Amino acid sequence: MDREDITVGPKGVLAAVLTPMAGDLAPDHAAFAAHCHRLLAAGCHGLSVFGTTGEANSLSTGERLAAFEALLDGGVPAETLLPGTGSCALTDTVRLSRAALEAGAAGVLVLPPFYYKGVGDDGLFRFFAEVIERVGDDRLRLYLYHIPQMTGVDLGLPLISRLIDAYPGAIAGTKDSSGDMKRIATLCREFPDLSVLAGTETLLLETLRSGGAGCISATVNVTSRLARRVYDAHTAGRDGEAEALQERLSDLRGSIEAYPVIPALKALMAALTGDKAWRNLRPPLSAPDEEQTEDLLSSVPLAELL
């Protein structure tokens, strides 16, 4: 990968990295580092580890910290990493964010606290404000993670605006998993200094054309090569090629999205690597049964993956 891409911060094609688990459902550190290297080699500009796809909230804070350490020990460049540090507990998010910052990660991707519903913007503002104040380091680059279908919490534009006004340096970007291109375009227009990353590579080209920074996506675990080609064609101004590649990329994503995405991706990784342990998932997620797996493997063009 291009070193220049690394130094500008999370931009381009980022995988929301899967977390491989051993038979006892503990993160498999060696397989995790190997997968990160595989994704960088396949063209990812960056790696958003410990997000929804990474089953991060199914891990304890200690397990997240240990797995993060293991990635660094395994030679994954810290500056390619945008780890999720969201948690319902302020103190956990502060601890995880500080560890990421001290290791030299590109930034941190932070969910709103997601247990309570209907809490109002004041409480959400105070959560992010407390995180920033408690981390207490000007180098912090916080990315707001909007995924209301999981959190049940809305990060509305007035809240984002208020946070940018209060912490213009620290609030660096957002991952928007709403799937709503209109909202993504509005974010790009209203907040020109915010790095806006779509939560799916289906919206990669459109997000880039709207002035966004790229995408962070679950399916990029297996579509990174093609996604990177879309990005490169776009930045080189080869518009027709970018569009044709985007169409292929969206079709590829569509073939995977027909199944519960995280279990499907782990089943695909098991097929691609020949390592059955890839199928392990922490509850409440479940692996597809044999019939569903066969169906998946026959409908997704494996040769086009990774």
Question: Contact residues for its own copies (CB under 8 A)?
Answer: 25, 52, 57-61, 63, 88-92, 95, 112-117, 119-120, 122-124, 126-127, 130, 149-153, 282-286
In the residue annotation, 231 being an active-site residue is answered as no
* Dihedral over Cα of 91, 95, 96, 101: its sign: positive
In the residue annotation, 115 being an active-site residue is answered as yes
Specify whether the CB–CB gap between 109 and 84 falls below 8 A. Answer: yes
Least Å from the CB of residue 103 to its own copies: 20
Cα 100 versus chain centre, distance:
15
Q: Return the number of the residue (114 or 191) whose C-beta is nearest its own copies.
A: 114
Two tokens, residue 156: 């509305």
Q: Return the number of the residue (25 or 78) whose C-beta is nearest its own copies.
A: 25
* Residue in this structure with the two tokens 């209109």, named with its chain if needed: 182
Q: Return the number of the residue (285 or 302) whose C-beta is nearest its own copies.
A: 285
Q: Return the number of the residue (61 or 273) whose C-beta is nearest its own copies.
A: 61
Q: Which of 11, 19, 52, 259 is catalytic?
A: 52
In the residue annotation, 175 being an active-site residue is answered as yes
- Residue from 107, 104, 158 nearest 132 by CA: 107
3-state secondary structure of 53: coil
Least Å from the CB of residue 141 to its own copies: 21
In the residue annotation, 143 being an active-site residue is answered as no
Q: Which of 19, 85, 151, 175 is catalytic?
A: 175
Packed helices 181-190 and 157-166: angle between N→C axes, nearest 10 degrees:
30
75: left (phi over 0), alpha (psi -120 to 50) or beta: left
Least Å from the CB of residue 56 to its own copies: 9
Q: Which of 145, 200, 207, 259 is catalytic?
A: 145
Q: Which residues are catalytic?
A: 52, 115, 145, 175
